[in-house]
Each structure stands twice: as C-alpha cells, then as structure tokens.
Amino acid sequence: MILRLWPVVLALGLIVSPLRAQPNEIRKSVARINNTMQEGNYRVPWLPGQLGGGSGTGWVVSADRILTNAHVVSNARFLTVEKEDDPKKYIATVEHIAHDCDLAILKVQDPAFFKNTKPLALGGIPELESTVSVFGYPIGGERLSVTQGVVSRIDFRTYTHSVLDSHLTIQIDAAINPGNSGGPVLQEGNVVGVAFQGFSGDVAQNVGYMIPTPVIRHFLKDIEDGHYDRYMDLSIGIANTQNPAMRKGLGLGDDDRGVMVSSVQSAGVCGGKLEVGDVLLSIDGHDIASDGMVELEGERVLMSEVAERKFLGDSVKLGVLRNKKPLDVTIKFDHAWPYLMQANAYDTQPTYILFGGLLFQPLSRNLLGAYRFQNDRISYFYDNFVTKEIYKEHPEVIVLSEILPDPINTYLSEFHDGIVDEINDHKIRTLKDAADAFAEKPEFYVIKFIGYARPLVLERSAVEAARERIRKRYNVLAEQNLSETEATSASR
C-alpha cells in the first residue's frame, strides 16, 4: 500500500510455473515498488496537481511481469522496482491496471531484473483457521518482511481503492501495514492472495485483508487480449424472502429458496430483462437461498460471485418466478456498468470548462473531495445518481464549482454550487453539451440552474473582452478539457 495514514479501512498471460516455490525462490521473486505520483488538481484543473510518493510490494507473476495492487501504482509519474540482494533500481511502467479490483501488471524495462527470479504459482482459497505467510516491505522498509497469520473469514467486502466495488476478500490476522500492499500471501509455496487493505490500530487490532486467487485469475484472464474490460455486474437490487408471509405472497414454498428483485437499473445488463417483483430461484444452475447466498466450490457466497466470474460477452442463466409462473431468463454481459461517478478516479486529468471566469465541472467523488459544496441538491444528485436513475437525464451532472472574480461575473455568487440545466434553451446532459452551447455566438448566454428562480446571464462581447484578462490573472493554461486524458500515458 502507498504510504499514508490509515484512519479507516484502507498480464501478460497466466502463471507459467505450477510448482510450489521454495522460501529462497519466493524472496528473490518479491519486489519493492517506489511510486512518484501526481494526482489531478480538481480545484485548479488547468494546473498540475501536487507531487507525492510512496512504496508498496509486487511479485513476479510470469516470466517478465510483476503483479501488484492498483493503488500502489495509481497516478504514477515514475516507477522503480527493487529486489533483495540487488542494489539496482529498475524502471517500470504500468501495463494493465484494474481500479475496480485493485490489481495491476507492471513491465520492467531491463529484463535483467528477472534474472534468478521465478514466477510464483497461484493456489486455491485457503481454509478457515489455516496459516498463511505475508511477504512485503511494510512502512517503507529496505528489507523484505515476512509475517504469519490465520485465515479468519471469507466474505464479500468493499474494495477501498475504488469505494464503489465489492468483491471476494479473505480476512487474516497477520500484520498488514502500509507498504505491504501488493505483496503475495503464500501457503505451502503457492500464492493464495495479495495483501491490499486493513484497519488502523485504533479501529481493530491485527485485521488485514487479501485479494483471493479467484479475483487474481479473473484479472489475468481478462487482460489476455491486451485490454481490461472491467468486472461485469447484474446491476440489480435484491431483497431476502425469509419472512413466511412474504414467501407465501410470492408463491414460494418452504424450501428456503429465492430472493426478490427490488430494483433493476435500466443502464445495466438486466434492464428490460428482469422486473421489480421477480423472484430469482437459481443462477447458472446454483440454487439461490432466501438470503441471496449460493454454494460455490464448497463455500456459501453471495449470488453476485457467480456473475463476477463472467467476462465481457459471457451470459448467465437465471431461474425466475414471475407472477408465480416459472421462466428462464438469459442475461448477456455485453457491457460493463457505464456510470462510475461515485467511484474514486485515478490516472485521469479533471475535465472542465472555464467560461467568463465561471468554472464548470462534472460532479464526481473526486470533485466532492476537493470542494465542500453547500448546495443540498448536489448531495441529493450524488447520493441518488444510480438509485433514482438520475443518469437518464444527466449522464454527467454539471456543476458551477468555482467563480474566478472578475468584473464580468460580479454579483453572480448566488449561482455558486449550482447544477446547470440549460444554456440558451439547450438541455445540458454532459460537459460537451455545455461546450457546444458556449461555442455558439448569441448576443447573450442564458444559463439556467436546477431549482433557481432566475437565470445567470452573460453578454458575449463582455466574455470575449475578458478572456485574456482572466487567463493572465489566474494563469489559465487551457480554458477547457473535455476528455479524461490518462495521466500515466507517458509512463506506459
């Protein structure tokens, strides 16, 4: 994990060696990763963000690639890797990165790094109460550290890197500290997980989490075609059917099967295929219990785990009870969930438009982290973006995030934090819509905000006269950026 305080829970092909690694082979195949990073500047988006740095751990996953956590190498400007008993710092680049499951593949420029290393083979899911060993470079140490712990829980949990995604995790009581992230967790010479997050000591003692091998294998399989497609998702909500009266009303028996569909997102793969009130009885032949769990490989896991193991283009078959009549529904995963506004964003530059000293930006978790908006409507749009399907009318929620004081925008502070609805009668659904409206040449620009009684009005001649004055006063390098250019493109 990148070095930071923890107040809360913080491929080129598959493994080529099926043999268990010996202790000395493991040590030679574990790397310390140093990241010089630069995050996007959401307060002043035309200027670069502050430089920072940190370190983590990685391990040799194939003959010439290293696997680590995405959060270890996010926003990278310059990466180096080191290995034990070798003083050289080797330059590396990010080849594949998956922010939704917090994994990444690195390519090392000098192939000499892999001399005397051996790819570590993947094992299975370790049993509860079994012992595992965690390899890494915690707290930025110069020497490899090895700690041991016991597997205490196998469960779905939020991956804090994106905040939006939840996947299978394994809880262990080994010490996992900043710098351990990306390091292999081994049992009997095989990798059974990747250390990636934990609690600070004032929240819980000796509680750490690792990414298990089903998630690692899914990532490695996904990138075999040279592109990462992201995890697939059913994009539905479910409600348990444990209440006897509810089960009777839905036409269910006493077999403790089935969950009710409580919501279906129209932008998801189930839109138009499932309906609210449907009862899901099975998924790909696995019976769904009344609490939403299925038995998979000897473990009880959430039914979403079956969907999680699918890839773009795959299908899943659902046994459904609709209006008390059985039917089969096939869902094809033809796209990933498209709206990621509520997730942390990395490796991108902020998008924005500066017009007449008014800064317009799409609402996002990153933007909320940069500003403390006082408009309750922003909180409502953000919190309910998916559940209320706000994305249907506003694929991007465009906010007037800042006003750079100038005579042209005097007395306009009441519109600060406002959500743009229309510009000259053009509905604004995306930032590009706003750019297109501002590119026109009317005498006045009339900007309407949601919930505001009067519009904001700018005179075109005054805007044009103020452009250079505002650019020079606030050192504006570019008046707009409409594409999320990858911040790490130069390092890849």
**Contacting residues for 78 by C-beta, under 8 A, at least 6 apart:** 35, 36, 91, 491
How many Cβ atoms are within 10 Å of 421's Cβ, its own excluded?
17
Residue whose tokens read 């990532």: 219
The answer to whether 73 and 79 are in contact (CB under 8 A) is yes
- Is 71 catalytic? The answer is yes
Active-site residue flag, 102: yes
Closest CA to 231 of 168, 289, 279: 168
d(C-alpha 441, C-alpha 445), whole Å: 9
Question: Is-contact 160 79, C-beta < 8 A?
Answer: no
Q: How far apart (Å, rounded) are the C-alpha atoms in residues 144 and 58?
A: 11
DSSP state of 232: -
CA distance 464 to 355: 9
Q: Which two tokens stand for residue 362?
A: 């799409």
Q: 333 and 306 in contact (C-beta within 8 Å)?
A: no
Give the separation between CA 91 and CA 82, rounded to whole angstroms: 9
Q: Is 361 helix (H, G, I), strand (E, B) or coil?
A: strand
Q: Which of 29, 181, 282, 364 is catalytic?
A: 181
Q: Which residues contact 121 (CB under 8 A, 6 or more apart)?
A: 15, 17, 18, 19, 20, 21, 189, 190, 191
Which of 100, 102, 165, 278 is an active site residue?
A: 102
DSSP 26-91: HHHTEEEEEEEEE---SSSTTS---EEEEEEEEEEEETTEEEE-HHHHTTEEEEEEEETTEEEEEE
Query: Which among 55, 62, 71, 161 is annotated as catalytic?
Result: 71
Pairing state between β 259-264 and 190-198: unpaired
Q: Which residues sit opposite 132 in a β-bridge?
A: 149
Q: Which residues pair with 43 in a beta bridge?
A: none
Can you say how many angstroms the Cα of residue 458 is from the centroid of all Cα atoms in its chain? 38
> What distance in Å separates the CA atoms of residue 268 and residue 233, rounded to the nearest whole number?
8
User: Among all residues, which ones are annotated catalytic?
Assistant: 71, 102, 181
